[in-house]
Structure 1
Amino acid sequence: MFDRIVKFTNSTSFINASKVTLASVVPVLFFNFLGYFEIGFTIALGAFYTYPSDIPSNLKHKIKGIVVTALIVSCVNLLVNLVYPFPWLFYPFLGILLFLSSMISVYGQRATMASFSALLSISLSFAHLHEGWEAVLHSSYIFAGGLFYLIVSLIFHYVKPHRYVELQIADGIRLTAKYLKLRGDLWNPDADRKKIIEKQLHLQVELNQIHENLRQVLIGNRATSGDSSQNRKMLIVFITLVEIQELALSTSFDHNKLHKKFSDHPEALRSYQNLAYKLASTLKKLSKSVHKASKYISVNDLKKELDGLQSAIDAYKNNLGKIEASEGVWMLTNMLKYAQKQVEKIKIVEMAFSSAIHSFDFKEKNKELEKFLTPQYYPIRTLIENFSFSSTFFRHSLRLTITIMLGFIIGKLLPFQNVYWILLTIVVIMRPGYGLTKERSYNRVFGTILGGLIAFGIVSLVHNHIAISIFAIVCMLIGISFTQSNYKISTTLVTMYVVFVYGILTPNILEVIQFRILDSLVGATLAFLANYYLWPAWEFLNAASFLEKSIEANKNYLQEIAEYYNKKGTLPTSYRLARKNAFIEIGNLMTSFQRMVQEPKSKQKQLPQINKLAVLNHSLLSSSASLGTYIQSHKTTSASESFNFVIDIVISNLNHSITILRHEKTSIYKNKDINKEKLTFHFEELKRKNFSRLENDNELDENARESKMQEAQLVIEQLIWMTDLSDKILTITKEFIAKNPD
C-alpha cells in the first residue's frame, strides 16, 4: 500500500496537479489575509485556466505556450464581459468567439489545450460578470494568475530539472517491459496469440505517446539549450528503448511449428520463455528504481540465463544427435541470438542508471535529431483550409458551439441557479468522438452525484472552516491528479472540492448540490445528444484515411529498407524517420479501432475488416523491421534483381491498396498467374544465388557456412511472408471498399 502511495505521489500527474494546486491556493490565502479574497480567487482562476497548456516540450516552447494561453484566457474573459450588456450583439459574438476558440485546436496538442482553456474561461466568465474598468481589472488578474502559474512551473522545473524526463523514461521502460512480457506469453502452448497481438497493438498506442513526449523534451532541449550529461544519458536510454522494441517486433518465430518440433523436448522452449520473462522482469525492476529515484542494483543475472538456454540447446543436440537435431538446433540458436542482442541493449540501459556514460557523442547529430520533432509553426493557411465540413475540427467546433449556445439559452429561459455549470459540463466532457463523450458523460454524472453526497455528509458533520479548507485542497490535488487516468474518480473529488468551497462561502449548501447535479445532467445530456445527431464523427467515416496512412507508412519504411540494401553505407536519417512514422501510424489506426468499439453497434461498420487490416499491417511492419534489422547487422552482398523484383511486388500491392482507399482508378493486374510464376522463379533464384555464394566462400568454416545459409533462408522466408501479407492487405482492402463505397 505504501509503495502505491509513493508511486502515485512520484507520478507526472501528481506533480502537475501539485503545480496547479499550489498556484491556485497561494494567491487565495495571501490575498484573503490582506482582505482581498476576490482578487486572490480571480488570480487562482487564471492559474487554473492556464495549466492545461503546460505539456511536454522544451523550456522555450513551454514558456511561450503558457504566456500565450494566459493572454488568450484573459482576453476572451474581457471580451465576454464587455459585450454582454448588448444582447443584440452578444449572442452572435458569443457564437463566433466559441467557434474560433475551438478551431485553434487545428494547430496541434498545445493549441488544443489552449482551446480548452479558452472555452473554460468563457464558460466560467458567466459566474460573475463585470463592467467597464472592473472588467479590465478582472481580466488582468486572470492574466496575472497565468503568469504566476508559469513561475510555479519554472520553480518545479529548476528544483528538479530532470524529474519529468526520468518519470517518462520510467513509464517507457515499464511499457517496454510489458511488451516483452507479452512476447514471452506467446510461448505458452495454449496462448491466444490473436488476443496477445491485439494487446501489443494497444500497448503501441501508449508507447507512441511516451516516445513523442520524450522526443519533444530531450531533442528539443538539445536544440535550444545545448547538451548536458543527464540529457545525453536519457537520450541514450530513449534510443535504446526504441531499439529494444524494434528488435522485439522484428524477430518473429513460428510458434506452432516450434511447439510441434519440440513436443518431446519442451524443456528447451521453457528455458527460452524463462529467459524472455527475465528480460521483461529486469526492465520492470529498472523502471521501479527510476520511478523511486533510487540507485539501481541489477538483480537478474542475464548472462546466467543465456548460459542456461545454451545448455538446453546442447542437451537437445546430445539427445538427438547432430544430424537429426540440426533443424531444431538452428531454430533454438536463432532464438538465442535474438536474446543475446536484447541482453546487450538492456545492459546499456542498466549502465545508464548504475554508472556514468560518456562514450556517446551526439554533437554532430543535433540537426539530424531535430528532424524527429513535430514542427512548431502556426500558419493562418492551416486554419483557413479547415473551414470545411470535410474537416473533423470544423464539425466538432460547430457542434460544440451550437451545444454551448443551446445550453446557455436553456439556462437563461429556465430557472437554473448557475448557467455556467451547464456550459462547463459541456466543455469538459464533449469530445470529437461519440464513445469518449458518452463515457465521460456517464462518469461526470456519477462522480457529481457521488461527490455531492459524500461532501454534503462531511460538511453536515464538520463545521470547522479550516478543516473544510484542508479537505478542499486535498480533493483538488488528488482530483486533478486523476483527470487523465480515471475521470470518474477525478469528477467525484473535484465535485467534493466545489461543495467544500461553497460550504465555506454559503450556508445553503444543499441547494448548491442539487443545482450542480441538475446542471451536470443537463450539460451531459446535451453533449451526448449533440455528438449523436449533429454531424457525428463516426469512426467508420475516417477508417479509410487511417488505413491509408498506415499502409503508406509501411510502404515508405519498406522502400527505405530496400534503398539502404541497394546502396549500403551509413544508415540514413530518412530510414529512422520512416520507421518512426510506421510505428506512429499503426498506433493511430489502433486508436481509431478502439474508438469504434465504443460506438453503437449500428455504427461499427466494417469492424472485422478494420481489425484484420490492423493486424496485417502490424505483421507487415514486423516483417519489414526483421528484414531491416538483418541488413543492418549482417555483411550482405549487393541486392539482387530477384530481391528488388519481390520488393517491387510488395510495394505494388501496397500502392494498389492505397489507390483503392483513395477511390482512385486502378490498373488491375491482368497477368496474376504470370506474376505468381515469376515470384516463384525469383524466390528460387534468391535461394540458388545465396546458397551458391555461401558454398563457394572459402573463408567460412562449416559451422559458419551453415549459419549463413540458415540466415539467408530466414531473409527469403521474410520476403515470402511479406508478399503474402501484402496480397492479403490488398484483398481485404477491396472487400472493405466494396462494402463501404462512400
Structure 2
Amino acid sequence: MLDRITKFTNSTSFLNATKVTIASVVPVLILNFLGYFEIGFTIALGAFYTYPSDIPSTLNHKIKGLIVASFIVSGVNLLVNLAYPYPYLFYPFLGFLLFICSMISVYGQRATLVSFSALISISLSFGHLHQGWEALAYSGSIFIGGILYLIVSLIFHFVQPYKYIELEIAEGIKLTAKYLKLRGDLWSPEANRKTIIEKQLGIQVELNEIHEDLRKVLIGNQSSTATSQNRKMLLVFITLVEIQELALYTSFDHSKIHEKFAKHPDVIRTYQNVAYKLASTLKKLSKNVHNIAVYVDKNDLKNELEALEFAIFDYEKTLGKETAAEGVLMLTNMLKYAKNQVGKIKIIQRALSLAMQSYKLKDQDKELEKFLTPQYYPLRTLIENLSFSSSIFRHSVRLTITILIGFVIGKFLPFQNVYWILLTIIVIMRPGYGLTKERSYNRIFGTLLGGLLAFGIVSLVQNHIVLSIFSIICMLLGISFTQINYKISATFVTMYVVFIYGILVPNVVEVIQFRILDSLAGAILAFLANQFLWPAWEFLNTPIHIESSIRANRDYLKEIADFYNKKGDVPTSYKLARKHAFVEIGNFMTSFQRMVQEPKSKQKTLPLVNKLVVLNHSVLSALASLSTYIQTNQTTSASESFNYIIRTILSNLDHSISILKNETIITDTFFDKEDVTLQFEEMKRKNFTRLATDEELDSETRQAKMQEAQMVIEQLIWMSNLAEKILKITKDLKATNPD
C-alpha cells in the first residue's frame, strides 16, 4: 500500500496537481488573511484556468504558451462581462465567442487545452458577473492568477529541472517492460495471441504519447548549451525506442516454432526466461528512476544468455549437426535478438548508474529537430477547417449549440447555478460519442458519490480550518486523477466544491442538491447532442486511420529496401519513417477502441477493422524484424528477386490505399501471384546453392549468410501474405461501407 502511495505521489499527474494547488491556495490564504478573500479567490481561478496549457515543451514555449493562455482566459471573461448587459448583442456574441474558442483546437495539443480553459472561463464567468471597472479588475485578477501559475511552474522547473523528464522516462521504461513481458507470453504454447496483441497495441498507444512528450522536451532542449543530464536522458529515450523496435523483431511464426521444438520444449522455455528477464530488468530500472536511486548493475542477464547458449548447444548435440541445422538457425536468430536487447539495456544501465559521464550527439541537433512537430499557427489552417467536413468544426458547432441551450434552460428553469450546467457540458463533451458517453456516466457517478461523502463529513465537521484542509486535499487529488480516472476525479472535485460551500454558506444541503441536478442536466444535454447533432461516429473516421497506418508501413518498407540496396549509415528519413509507422499504428488502435464504445448499429465493420489492426501490427513487426537484422548484420547485395518481391508488397499496399481513397486502380501495376512464387523459389535456390558450393567461405561466414538468406526470405514471404490479406480485407471493408 505504501509503495502505491509513493508511486502515485511521485508521478507527473501529482506533480502537475501540486503546482496548480499551490498557485491556487497561496493567494487565497494570504489575501484572506489581509481581508481580500474575493480577490484571492479570483486569482486562484486564474491559476486554475491557465494550468491545463502547461504541457511538455521547451522552456521558451512553456513561457509563451502560459502567457498567451493567461491573456485568453482573462480576455474572454472580460468580454462576457462587457456584453452581458445588452441581451440582443449578448446572445449572438456569446455563440460567436464559444465557437471561436472551440475552433482554436485546430492548432494542436496546446491550443486544444487553451480552448478548454477559455471555455471553462466563459462558463464560470456567469457565477461572478461584473460591470465597468469591476469587470476590468476581475479580469485583471484572473490574468495575475495565470502569471502566478507560470511563476510557480518555473520555480518547480528550476528547482528540479529534470523531474518531469525522469518521471516520464520511468513510465516509458515501465511500459516497455510490460511490452517485453507480453512478447515473452507469446512463447507459451497455450497463449491467446489475439488478446496479447491487443494488449500490446494498447501499450503502444500509451508509449506513443510518452515518446512524443519526451521528444518535445529532450530534443527541444538539445543545443550547444544542453547539460550532460539532458544528453543522458536523450540517450535513454533513443535507446528505449530502439528496444521497442527490437522487441518487434521477435516476429517469428510461433506456431511453426512450437511445432519444430515440440519434442524439445526446454529450449523454448529457456528463451522465454530470457524474455521475462529482459522485462524484469527494465522494470527494476523504472523503479530506480522513480525512487531517484542510482542503478547498480548486477549483471543479472548474463546467466540467462549463457543458459540459452547451452540449450542451443545441447539441442544440436542431441539431434546431430545436420538434423538440427534449421532449428539451430532459428534459435541463433533468437539468441542474437536477446544479445542485442541486452546491449541496449546495458546502455540505459550505464546512463542511470552515472558510469557515463557525458554523451554527445555529434552535431546531429538539426537532424533531431526533424522529429518534432513544427510550432506555427497560420490563419489558413483555421479557414480551411471552416467546413462540415472538419470534425473540429462539427464539434465546435455542436458544443456551441449545446452550451447555448444549457444557458437558456438554466436561465428560465429553476436551476440555482447555470454555470454548473455549462461547466459539465464543457468538461464531458468530446468529439467522439463513446468518450462523451463514458465521461457522462463517470461525471454523474462521481457527483453523486462525492456529494454523499462530502455531506456526511460536513454534517459531522463544522470547523472551517479542518474543512479548508479537506478542500485542499480534495482539490489536489481531484486534479491528480483527471487524466488517470475521471470517475475518481469527479468524486474529489465534487467534495472540494461542497467543502468550499460548507465554509462560505450555511445551507450546504441545498448546494449539494443543485450541484447534482446541474451536473445531471449538463451530462444529459452533452450526451444527446453528441448523438443527434452531427454525430462524429468513429466508423466514418476509421478508414482515414487505416489508410495512414498502411501508408506509414509502406513508407517504412521503402526506406528499409532502399537501405538494404545502398548500405551505409542509417539516414534520418529512415528513422522518421519508423517513428511515423509506430505512431500511426497507435492512432489506428485508438480509433478502433473508440469504435468499440459506440452503439452496436455503428459497428458493422468492427470485425474487419479489428483484422486490419492486427494485420498492420503484424506488418510493422515484420518490418522491424527485417530492419533490425540488416542494421545489426553485414548483409549481401540485394538481388533482383528481392526488389521484385518488395515492389509486389508495395503494390498491394498502394492498391489498398487507393481503394480507401476511392481512387482508380491502374490494372497493369498488378503482379502475378505465380510470378511472385517463382521469385521466392529463385531467391531460395540462388542463395542456398551459392552458399553451399562457395568453397572460399569459412563455416562461420557461410552460417551467417545462410542465416541472412533464411531470415530475409521468411520475412518477405510473411509480409507478402500480409499485404495480400490487407488488400482483400480492404476490399471487403469498402464493399461493406461504400461511403
Over 3 Å counting, the alpha-carbon distance change for 1:477 and 1:670 in structure 2 is closer
Q: 1:360 to 1:670 in 2, by over 3 A?
A: closer
Alignment deviations for residues 217-271 of structure 1 (CA, whole Å, 9 cap, x no partner): 0000115x73110000001100111111101112312211222222222111111
| Pair 1:293–1:671, CA change in 2 (3 A) | closer
Q: Partners in 2 of 1:702 and 1:206 — Cα distance?
A: 45
Output the CA distance in 2 between the equivalents of 1:322 and 1:578: 41
1:346-365 maps to which residues of 2 (within 5 A)? 346-358=345-357, 360-365=359-364
Alignment correspondent of 2:630: 631
Alignment correspondent of 2:575: 576
Listed as ranges, the gaps of 5+ residues in structure 2 are none
Match of 2:733 in 1: 736
The answer for the alignment partner of 1:688 in structure 2 is 685
Partner of 1:561: 560
Please list every run of 5 or more consecutive structure 1 residues that lacks an aligned counterpart in the other structure. Answer: none
Say whether 1:710 aligns with 2:707: yes
* CA distance in 2 between partners of 1:12 and 1:429 (Å): 22
Shifted more, 423-432 versus 289-298: the winner is: 289-298
Going from structure 1 to structure 2, the CA distance change for 1:517 and 1:299 (only over 3 Å counts) comes to farther
Judge conservation of contact 2:642–2:683 (CA < 8 Å) in 1: yes
1: CA distance, partners of 2:380 / 2:165: 34
**What is the DSSP-based 3-state SS (H/G/I as helix, E as strand, rest coil) of the residue aligned with 2:664?**
coil
Q: What's the CA shift for 1:694?
A: 3.0
Residue 130 (structure 2) pairs with residue 130 (structure 1): yes
Deviates more, 1:721-730 or 1:90-99: 721-730
AA aligned opposite 1:728: K
Q: How does 1:620-659 map to 2 (within 5 A)?
A: 620-659=619-658
Cα displacement (A) at 1:321: 2.3
Query: Contact 2:478–2:490 (CA<8 Å) still a contact in 1?
Result: yes
Q: How does 1:190-339 map to 2 (within 5 A)?
A: 190-223=190-223, 226-299=225-298, 301-339=300-338
The correspondence of residues 653-668 of structure 1 with structure 2, limited to 5 A, is 653-668=652-667
8 Å CA contact retained: 1:282, 1:300: no
Partner of residue 477, structure 1: 476
| C-alpha distance 670-117 of structure 1, shift in aligned 2 (>3 A) | closer
1:30 corresponds to = 30
Distance in 2 (CA, whole Å) between partners of 1:577 and 1:317 is: 41
1:307-362 per-residue CA deviation (whole Å, 9 max, x = no partner) reads 01111122222222222222222222221111111111111111111123246421
2:76 corresponds to:
76
Structure 2 CA distance for aligned equivalents of residues 468 and 671 of structure 1: 73
Superposition pairs of residues 433-448 of structure 1, within 5 angstroms: 433-448=432-447
Task: State the secondary structure of the residue aligned to 1:710.
Answer: helix
Q: Measure, in 2, the Cα distance between the counterparts of 1:591 and 1:80.
A: 37
**1:60 match:** 60
Q: CA deviation at 1:405?
A: 0.2
CA distance in 1, matches of 2:704, 2:555: 31
Q: 2:720 aligns with which of 712, 720, 723?
A: 723
1:195-234 deviations in Å (ceiling 9; x for gaps) = 11111111110010010000000000115x7311000000
CA distance in 2, matches of 1:319, 1:689: 31
Equivalences for 1:532-571 in 2 at 5 Å? 532-571=531-570
Q: How far did 1:87 drift? A: 0.1
Please state whether the residue corresponding to 1:127 is helix, strand or coil: coil
Task: Give the Cα–Cα distance (whole angstroms) in 1 for the partners of residues 61 and 465 of structure 2.
Answer: 39
Distance 2:628 2:336 in 1: 13
Shift of residue 18, structure 1, vs aligned partner: 0.3
Deviations 1:452-494 (A, max 9, x none): 1111111111111000000000000011100000111110011
- Secondary structure, counterpart of 2:245 in structure 1: helix
Which position in structure 2 is the counterpart of 1:466? 465
- The number of aligned residues is 739
What SS is found at the alignment partner of 1:638? coil
Q: Give the TM-score normalised by the residue count of structure 2.
A: 0.98
Distance in structure 2 (CA, Å) of the matches to 1:432 and 1:28: 35
How many Å separate the matches in 1 of 2:333 and 2:630?
A: 16
How far apart in 2 are the matches of 1:571 and 1:671? 31
Shift of 1:699: 5.0
Which amino acid counterpart does residue 702 of structure 2 have in structure 1? R
The one-letter amino acid of 1:9's match is T
Match of 1:341 in 2: 340
Instruction: Tell me which residue corresponds to 2:119.
Output: 119
- The one-letter code of the counterpart of 1:219 is I
Cα deviation code 1:76-131 (max 9, x no counterpart):
00000000000000000000000000000000000000000000000000001000
Are 1:282 and 1:299, in contact at CA under 8 Å, matched by a contact in 2?
A: no
Post-superposition offset of 1:373: 0.3
Alpha-carbon offset, residue 717 of structure 1: 1.4
Number of the residue aligned with 2:674? 677
Q: CA deviation at 1:718?
A: 0.9
> Paired residue for 1:616?
615
**Which secondary structure does the structure 2 equivalent of 1:738 belong to?**
helix
